[in-house]
Amino acid sequence: KLASGIAPLNTLMKAGVNVCLGTDSACSNNNLSLFEDMKVTAIVQKNAYHTPAAFTAEQIWQFATENAYRAFGLNNGMSVGANADLALIDLKKPWFYPQSNIVSHLVYSMAGGVDTTIVNGRVLMQNGIIPGEEEILEKAQERFIRLTSED
């Protein structure tokens, strides 16, 4: 969106950089969808290197998961004492069919389907419903208007 260039991921990886994906803010990515960022990264890198084999879905998935855990020093395993930060995804959606390579579908086809999110053991969304979502959106709009008004 900001036309800041294309990161030379192969060069960075060869230099030992822990390449990660994430969303930074609504200023440069309106929807903050890590799934969309994975897809865009994969497609842009294939274009930049002029080959559809530039990065596999598994590599892109690793940038958004394992590499990010490592960058923040997080425990990425299921164990006693680990943070319960996870998303439950409904795999019975059309974009996950035919069910073959789930990682490829998550990187290239994800168009919704996050059913439940849990952060630090607290359920934030369940069955696609965020408790108080309407009020949250109203407050966000009010704050936007306040911050951008000329008064």
Instruction: pLDDT band for 12, please (50, 70, 90 cuts).
Output: very high
CA 75, 34, 141, 151 torsion-angle sign: positive
Buried/exposed code over 19-28 (b: 16+ C-beta within 10 A; e: otherwise): bbbeeeeeee
Average pLDDT over residues 19-37: 84
**Is the per-residue pLDDT at 34 higher than 80?**
yes
DSSP per-residue string spanning 51-100: -TTSS-HHHHHHHHTHHHHHHHT---S--TTS---EEEE---SGGG-S-S
Given a contact cutoff of 8 angstroms between Cβ atoms, the answer to whether 123 and 85 are in contact is no
Identify which of 87, 38, 90, 98 has the alpha carbon closest to the alpha carbon of residue 64. 38
Position 76 pLDDT exceeds 70: no
Structure tokens at 40: 């865009």
What's the one-letter identity of residue 42?
A
Q: What per-residue confidence (pLDDT) applies to 43?
A: 96
Mean per-residue pLDDT for 17-38? 86
Query: Two tokens at 91?
Result: 């795999």
Instruction: Give the CA radius of gyration of the chain.
Output: 18
What pTM, to 2 d.p., does this model score?
0.83
Cβ-in-10-Å burial (0-12, 13-18, 19+) of 72 comes to exposed
CB 20 within 8 A of CB 67: yes
Write down the domain spans for the chain.
1-77, 83-151
b/e sequence 31-49, b meaning 16+ C-beta within 10 Å: eebbbebbbebbbebeeee
CATH for 83-151 is: 2.30.40.10
